């Protein structure tokens, strides 16, 4: 079956369909990863996007249940040069084609993905329409012209209820803006008691969970589309240690008074070089984002730049000079990508322990007694009112 991809600038690609039939619209982006297509397909940060893989052969090692980063794929379309229909790998349980069919996602192959990537790099990411129908190009252009990009992706991909992943050490609340499973895995690996909460959880609701630290997860779209999250972070800043990843990094910046902007074509792939300014060491990182923190907005926010991108100089890491809060634009949990930056989870755990040492909490019994005394229940030496009757 034939499939077509139409870009908003009028460029039309005609290729071979795989996956589901129908039509889909979204922002057309590209990912430079050589492996990890399953993790890309299941990364909630791609919600609302038609993803182009620059590596030419996709599907050769199939799909396995163990490599999902979310319960289901969220991409709006999948574009590849060559789709391998028969995977050759002992872990493969089914194919990319069957996965896309199951979740109603359209795939297109046998097009010039190098040409498509060069267009996106030159002109920037743009709206696109992917179809297996026989409608005229004029009809497709008219539909695409009236299309607007999604603004509610975070609401779509975030968990709708609180869930608990028990552990014996520090309790960490993960605010799920579209979190990859790898974040929870890395925290659990370190013994953390993880509580995952929805994206619209308030500061007071988080306080009731009594966390030792707060993790702001990755997620899709423009950080300015979730202003309630920046408000929540601003309320909790200084109260608990905070670690932000990707969208969480941008939201921490907004909460501190900095600003963000859309990039021309973003960073997506597992081979992005990032420089740690404190050591001058370069790390190869996994990334997936289309927005960045504006460097000229940092002054006066209490934030300090800790990492930069070696390719374009954009901000890749921040820390607060007064509060126990830091963030990175890339993915230290990888999945897919290199694990060079997984040490950041250890840094987060250490920041929690240091915060506890510097801010000792009075015993719970003392807090209960103080509250009872303030309310008048306890008089004198602690004798309850009812004992006098």
What pLDDT sits at residue 248? 98
The pLDDT of residue 385 is 58
Q: Look at residue 386 and tell me whether its pLDDT is greater than 80.
A: no
Over residues 296-308, mean pLDDT: 97
Fold adopted by 154-358: Rossmann fold (3.40.50)
pLDDT digits over 266-277, tens only?
999 999 999 999
CB 48 within 8 A of CB 286: no
What's the CATH architecture for 2-150?
A: 3-Layer(bba) Sandwich (3.50)
Pick from 40, 50, 66: which is nearest to 105 by CA? 50
Per-residue confidence band for 380, with pLDDT thresholds at 50, 70 and 90: low
H-state helical runs in the chain: 37-41, 96-102, 113-123, 137-145, 153-157, 181-189, 203-209, 227-236, 247-255, 343-358, 364-375
pLDDT for 124 equals 97
State yes or no: 310 annotated in a binding site.
Answer: no
**Bridge pairing between strands 378-379 and 383-384:** antiparallel
pTM score, whole prediction: 0.93
Contacts with 190 (C-beta within 8 Å, 6 or more apart), sequence order: 169, 345, 346, 349
Tokens of 284: 């190869």
* pLDDT given for residue 379 in this prediction: 61
The C-alpha atoms of residue 141 and residue 54 are separated, in whole angstroms, by 25
pLDDT at 383 over 70: no
Burial class of residue 8 (count of CB atoms within 10 Å of its CB; 0-12, 13-18, 19+): middle
Q: In the Cβ-directed half-sphere of 216, how many Cα atoms lie within 13 Å?
A: 34
Residue 290, annotated ligand binder?
yes
With contact defined as beta carbons under 8 Å apart, do 117 and 146 qualify?
no
| Rounded distance between C-alpha atoms, residue 364 and residue 347, angstroms | 28
pLDDT at 378: 65
**Model confidence at 150, in pLDDT bands (50, 70, 90)?**
very high
Catalytic option among 267, 272, 289, 331: 331
350 catalytic per annotation:
no
Q: How confident is the model at residue 381 (pLDDT cuts 50, 70, 90)?
A: low
Q: What is the mean pLDDT of the chain?
A: 95
62 is in an annotated binding site: no
Tell me the pLDDT tens digit for each residue of 258-297: 999 999 999 999 999 999 999 999 999 999 999 999 999 9
311 is in an annotated binding site: no
Active site (annotated) includes residue 246: yes
* 219 annotated binding-site participant: yes
- Catalytic member of 47, 155, 246, 256: 246
pLDDT at 384 exceeding the cut of 60: no
> Which of 27, 69, 170, 333 is flagged as catalytic?
333
Please write the tens of the pLDDT for every residue from 17-27.
999 999 999 99
Q: How many helices (DSSP H) and strands (DSSP E) are in the chain?
A: 11, 21
* Preceding peptide of 328 cis, ω within 30°: no
pLDDT in tens, 212-222: 999 999 999 99
- The domain ranges of the chain are 2-150, 154-358
**C-alpha 349: how far from its chain's center?**
20
The confidence score (pLDDT) of residue 295 equals 96
Chain segment 356-371, per-residue pLDDT in tens: 999 887 777 877 888 8
Query: Would you call 333 a catalytic residue per the annotation?
Result: yes
């Amino acid at each position: 079956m034939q499939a077509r991809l139409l870009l908003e600038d009028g460029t039309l690609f005609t290729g071979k369909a795989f996956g589901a039939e129908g039509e889909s619209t979204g922002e057309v982006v590209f990912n430079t990863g050589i492996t990890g297509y399953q993790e890309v397909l299941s990364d909630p940060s791609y919600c609302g996007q038609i993803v182009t893989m620059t590596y030419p052969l996709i599907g050769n090692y199939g799909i396995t249940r163990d490599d999902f980063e979310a319960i289901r794929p969220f991409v709006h379309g999948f574009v590849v040069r060559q789709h391998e229909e028969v995977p050759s790998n002992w872990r493969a349980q089914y194919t990319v084609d069957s996965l896309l069919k199951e979740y109603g996602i359209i795939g297109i192959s046998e097009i010039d993905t190098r040409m498509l990537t060069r267009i996106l790099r030159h002109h920037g990411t743009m709206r696109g329409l992917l179809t297996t129908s026989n409608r005229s190009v004029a009809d497709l252009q008219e539909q695409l012209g009236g299309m607007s990009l999604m603004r509610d992706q975070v609401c779509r991909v975030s968990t709708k209820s609180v869930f608990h992943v028990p552990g014996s050490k520090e309790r960490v609340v993960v605010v799920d803006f579209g979190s990859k499973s790898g974040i929870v895995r890395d925290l659990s690996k370190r013994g953390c008691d993880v509580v995952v909460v929805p994206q619209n959880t308030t500061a007071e609701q988080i306080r009731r969970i009594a966390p030792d630290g707060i993790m702001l997860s990755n997620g899709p779209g423009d950080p300015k589309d979730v202003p309630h999250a920046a408000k929540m972070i601003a309320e909790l800043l200084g109260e608990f240690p905070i670690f932000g990843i990707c969208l969480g990094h941008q939201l921490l910046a907004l909460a501190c008074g900095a600003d963000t902007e859309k990039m021309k074509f973003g960073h997506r792939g597992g081979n992005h070089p990032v420089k740690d300014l404190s050591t001058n060491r370069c790390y190869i990182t996994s990334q997936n984002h289309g927005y960045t923190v504006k460097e000229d907005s940092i002054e006066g926010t209490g934030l300090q730049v800790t990492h930069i991108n070696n390719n374009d100089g954009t901000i890749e890491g921040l820390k607060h000079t007064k509060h126990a809060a830091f963030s990175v634009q890339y993915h230290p949990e990888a999945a897919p990508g290199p694990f060079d930056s997984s040490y950041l989870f250890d840094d987060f755990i250490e920041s929690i322990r240091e915060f506890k040492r510097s801010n000792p909490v009075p015993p719970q019994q003392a807090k209960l007694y103080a509250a009872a005394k303030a309310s008048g229940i306890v008089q004198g030496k602690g004798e309850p009112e009812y004992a006098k009757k």
